[in-house]
Amino acid sequence: MSAVLRFDDAREAADLAAFLGRLIHYDRAAAVRLQAGGGALAVFGRPPSFEVLAIRTARLSDDALVLDVTVSAGELLESLDESASRASVPGAVTGPPWAGVLPPRGGWQPVTGLPEPERMRGAVAAAVAEFRSRDEALPEEARTRAERERIGREIWSRTLGSTELPLRAVHAAQSLGFLRPVRALAAAGGPSGVEQVGLFVSGPWLRLRTPYGSIALRRAGLGTLTVTPT
């Protein structure tokens, strides 16, 4: 018999459903790693376009449930009953390589130099516009996948403020619904006023944390960027 996730309230289930839907938008065969314990659930996913780990947490009403399994994101979404605030955990799948290399649970230290959230959103919008402009300016014979990826690497590897955080991490946060304006926080029942967005470091890992989720990535050996904004 499969384990059952019982969420603290319907909003927790709805937010998780939205997150899973966004992951599937980028990868129809997406897998997620679930870790539960002490009344909390952490869901890890990796949208391939951004080459980062996305982390969404949820409160559970069952403090006794202990779980660590990798499952299909689509099957988990299908099993999620928002009205009943519950989901059945699908059968385990063979985990992709990233699922075995997760960021640490502790040891995170705050990093200064991150711009305000509104400036971060503005930087993403400007980068998307720049990519489109440069792509459209390419001669037909030069509009190859390799050239477009080169432009993407140049733009999305730029860092924010005085930090090591690449712009693509912020793009991922915004695309996955983690980086929302203050008015969206208040409308969703969250805190009003200043957005609680911060950057943290632990060993080789960086973590951009917002009230809706986190984006984590390694500070070195990040791989090749292949983002094409949509």
pLDDT above 80: residue 206: yes
CB atoms within 10 A of CB 151: 15
* CATH number of the structural domain 4-100: 3.10.150.10
Residues in the chain: 230
Give the pLDDT score at 194. 52
Copy the structure tokens of residue 227.
């983002």
Cα–Cα nearest to 64, from 36, 34, 89, 33:
36
pLDDT above 90: residue 190: no
pLDDT above 90: residue 2: no
pTM: 0.87
CB atoms within 10 A of CB 87: 27
Give the pLDDT score at 187. 53
pLDDT above 80: residue 223: no
Q: Return the percentage of the chain with pLDDT > 70, whole number.
A: 89
Backbone angle region of 2, left / alpha / beta, with phi > 0 → left and psi within -120 to 50 → alpha: beta
Output the CA torsion sign for 132, 177, 46, 21.
negative
Domain boundaries along the sequence of the chain: 4-100, 109-218
Give the pLDDT score at 220. 55
Copy the structure tokens of residue 62.
């069952």
Distance separating alpha carbons of residues 44 and 176, to the nearest angstrom: 12
Instruction: Calculate helix-pair angle for 117-137, 145-156, nearest 10 degrees.
Output: 160
Q: Note the pLDDT tens digit of each residue in 14-38.
A: 999 999 999 999 999 999 999 999 9
Whether 89 and 34 have beta carbons less than 8 Å apart is answered as: yes
Q: Quick one: average pLDDT of 144-156?
A: 93
